[in-house]
Amino acid sequence: MAVTVKVISKTERTLSEQAYIPEAMKGMKLSMSRFFKNTFAAPEKKEIATVRYPEEKRVYPERFRGIHRLTQRADGSPRCVACLCCSTACPAQCIYIEPEEYAEGDARHGYERFPVVFVIDELRCIFCGYCVEACPCDAIRMDTGIHMPPSTERSHFIYDKETLLSIPGADGTYECENPRHEPGDASHPGVDRLKGH
Furthest CA-CA distance within the chain: 95
Closest to ligand SF4 by CB, 37 vs 147, is 147
Closest to ligand SF4 by CB, 83 vs 176, is 83
Closest to ligand SF4 by CB, 56 vs 62, is 62
- The answer to whether 66 and 145 are in contact (CB under 8 A) is yes
Burial 123-159 (b: 16+ CB within 10 A, else e): eebeeeebbbebbebbbbbbbbbeeeeeeeeeeebbb
Count of C-beta atoms within a 10 Å radius of residue 114: 18
Tell the smallest beta-carbon distance from residue 172 to ligand SF4 (Å). 21
Site residues (vs ligand SF4, CB under 6 A): 80-86, 89-92, 94-95, 97, 120, 125-131, 134-135, 137, 139-140
Distance, in Å, from the CA atom of 162 to the CA atom of 139, rounded to the nearest integer, reads 14
Closest to ligand SF4 by CB, 95 vs 165, is 95
